Amino acid sequence: MKFFVDTADTSEIADLAATGLVDGVTTNPSLVMKSGRPMREVIGEICALVEGPVSAEVTAVDYDAMVKEGRYLAEIAENVCVKVPLTMPGLKTCKTLSKAGIKVNVTLCFSAAQAILAAKAGATFVSPFVGRLDDIGEDGMRLIADIVTIYDQYDHFRTEVLVASVRHPMHVVAAAQLGADVVTLPPDVMRKLAQHPLTDKGLAAFLADWQKTGQSILPS
Ligand code: E4P
């Protein structure tokens, strides 16, 4: 299972990438807005921080303009993955860019029917938003289960399921149980994955006992 970080904050990305656990990054127009930086500059910097795919989203809504923006974004760095919305023009753009060898992430996916279209359009990734479905009383993880099952039926569907809009560690665990290819994590959720109160308690007790021995592991 791959871990992407869902942010355009380069200091957060650098910090988490240093763990060796980050396989890519996703951004969207809201995250770029939060960064307060010009998009081209921030995407370029992120692409230098991580080797894996970095999703950069188009903001045009019609096909011709989306293709233009997508090609422009793809020029920023080799590891840019162009993000397009799950609309008919977005799918058409996905097909065109994918055929040209550009990686595409089809975003804002909220149904299995939409995910079938993304696979048919040759998307590298499809991004179902689990948190936003949970927020309106639907079951985000049910959608992941449906998409994984459907994609498994067809060898020619190469699209990876990228679980997005992740809100907490149990989304990650459930996505892993379902065999999703990728989860994209807000930095705080990634850090929360490592936390457990019994780990903290156990470590404090070990360190207190160790101090009583007066020893140090490395020779002085
Ligand atoms: C990722 O590609 C999405 O842009 C992101 O996960 C959306 O998350 P949100 O629902 O927390 O905004």
Is residue 200 situated within a structural domain? no
Q: Is 132 in the pocket of ligand 1 (CB under 6 A)?
A: yes
| Best mutation site among 23, 27, 28 for ligand 1 pocket (most ligand atoms within 8 Å of CB) | 28
Is residue 220 situated within a structural domain? no
Instruction: Measure CA 199 to chain center.
Output: 27
Domain hosting residue 13, numbered range: 2-195
Task: Tell me the per-residue pLDDT of 164-198, one tens digit each, with 9 for 90 and over.
Answer: 999 999 999 999 999 999 999 999 999 999 999 99
pTM of the model: 0.96
Is residue 204 situated within a structural domain? no
Under 8 Å between Cβ of 115 and 140: no
Burial class (CB in 10 A: 0-12, 13-18, 19+), 74: buried
Is residue 96 situated within a structural domain? yes
Give the C-alpha separation, 168 to 183, whole Å.
Answer: 11
Mean pLDDT across 97-118: 98
Is residue 57 situated within a structural domain? yes
Give the C-alpha separation, 69 to 83, whole Å.
Answer: 10
Domain count, the chain: 1
Give the C-alpha separation, 83 to 25, whole Å.
Answer: 12
Is residue 186 situated within a structural domain? yes
Is residue 140 situated within a structural domain? yes
- Where does the pLDDT of residue 220 fall: very low under 50, low under 70, confident under 90, or very high at 90 and above? confident
Which residues on neighbouring strands pair with residue 83, listed in sequence order? 57, 105
- Where does the pLDDT of residue 103 fall: very low under 50, low under 70, confident under 90, or very high at 90 and above? very high
User: Across the chain, how many H-helices and E-strands are there?
Assistant: 11, 8
Give the C-alpha separation, 38 to 50, whole Å.
Answer: 19
Q: Is 6 in the pocket of ligand 1 (CB under 6 A)?
A: yes
The residue whose CA has the least distance to atom 8 of ligand 1 is: 165
Is residue 34 situated within a structural domain? yes
- The CATH number of the domain holding residue 119 is 3.20.20.70
Burial class (CB in 10 A: 0-12, 13-18, 19+), 15: middle
Mean pLDDT across 75-86: 98
